[in-house]
Each structure stands twice: as C-alpha cells, then as structure tokens.
Amino acid sequence: MRRMVMAACALVLTANAGAQTNPAPVKGMASTVGLYVYPKSHQTGRQQLTDESQCYSNAKTQTGYDPNATKTAAKTDDKKSGDKPVAKGAMRGAVISGATGGDAAAGARRGAIIGSIKAKREDKKETEQADKQADAAKTASQQSLDNFKRSLSACLDSRGYSVK
C-alpha cells in the first residue's frame, strides 16, 4: 500500500514538473509588430511580459520610432479650380480669334479644349509627384519599423528568448 501511495505521488510530481517545463507562449508587446517570442530558458509568462515591455521601451529609445504612435494624414490641397483652366483657355482663344479677324466663338471653343487638356496634364503630373512622395514616405516608415524590430529582437534574444 505504501508503495502505491509513493508511486502515485511521484506520478503527480512528474506530471506537474512536465507542465512547468513547457510554458505556453505569451502574447506580449512584440506581437504588435509581428514578432513571435518563445522562452528558451523556461521564463514565466509574467517574466516574458516584463522583458518584452522593457525591450520595447529600449527599442523605441534606440530607434526613435514608436510603431504604436498615431500618425496624422498629410493635408491635401483640395483645389476647387473646376472650370478655371477651361474658362481661361476659352477667353484666350476668343481674344486671339477676335484680334485676328476670325470667329470669336470658334476661338473660344478651341481655347476651352486646349485649356482642359493643359489642366489634365498638370493634374496628372501633380498626382504622379504625390504618389512618388507617398512611396518615399512609406519606404522610410518601413525602414524605421525594420530597425525597431531588429532592436527589439536583439534585446529579447539577449534575455534568452527565441524571436522570429
């Protein structure tokens, strides 16, 4: 009987020890930037959260980048020019046609068409330039995020975590 009680106690102790050696992964601050962190040295969940918080703060300090900071969108100039280039073109066409002895109405139509073509070209150029600037800003932001992740990973790695 005594042997059975001892065997049962040993079985319970072994089961508890096995549960403690494989701690469940904790979802901490590193997961907000897409990193997966697993303890290599049997750290507790509480210890992992503390380490992640400290490394997150260190990474913000080192890189000067905070992935959780809210960003305000750049103001876009909302040009309400509407028909202004068309009207300017029509006026120029009418003046030129009238001055040369031609039909002012026909000159105004031609001028309006030329004015709208110019306006479309300028709008396209401005849109392309804005797209290039947005791409450059996105690239800079991605580089900052990559630097932040490297700093966070290095810190957690030095504290005994596997980071991917």
Domain count, the chain: 1
Q: Do the domain assignments include residue 144?
A: yes
- What digits encode the pLDDT tens for the residues 106-163? 878 888 888 888 888 888 899 999 888 888 888 888 899 999 999 999 999 999 999 9
Looking up tokens 């990559």 gives: 146
Lowest mean pLDDT among 12-21, 36-45, 75-84: 12-21
User: 94-128 burial by CB neighbour count: b if 16+ within 10 A, else e?
Assistant: beebeeeeeebeebbbbbbebbeeebeeeeeeeee
Mean pLDDT value of segment 7-29: 57
Q: Do the domain assignments include residue 146?
A: yes
Domain, as residue range, for 119: 84-151
Give bridge partners of residue 38 from the DSSP assignment. Answer: 162
Q: Do the domain assignments include residue 124?
A: yes
Instruction: Quote the crossing angle between the two packed helices 104-158 and 84-99, to the nearest 10°.
Output: 150
Q: Are 74 and 60 in contact (CB under 8 A)?
A: no
Token reading at 118: 């110019």
Question: One-letter amino acid identity for 70?
Answer: T
Q: Do the domain assignments include residue 35?
A: no
Token reading at 30: 């590193």
Q: Is the pTM of this model over 0.75?
A: no
Q: Do the domain assignments include residue 161?
A: no
- Rounded CA gap, 136 and 151, in Å? 23
- Rounded CA gap, 152 and 150, in Å? 6
- At residue 41, the 3 state secondary structure works out as coil
The answer, yes or no, to whether residue 45 has pLDDT greater than 60, is: yes
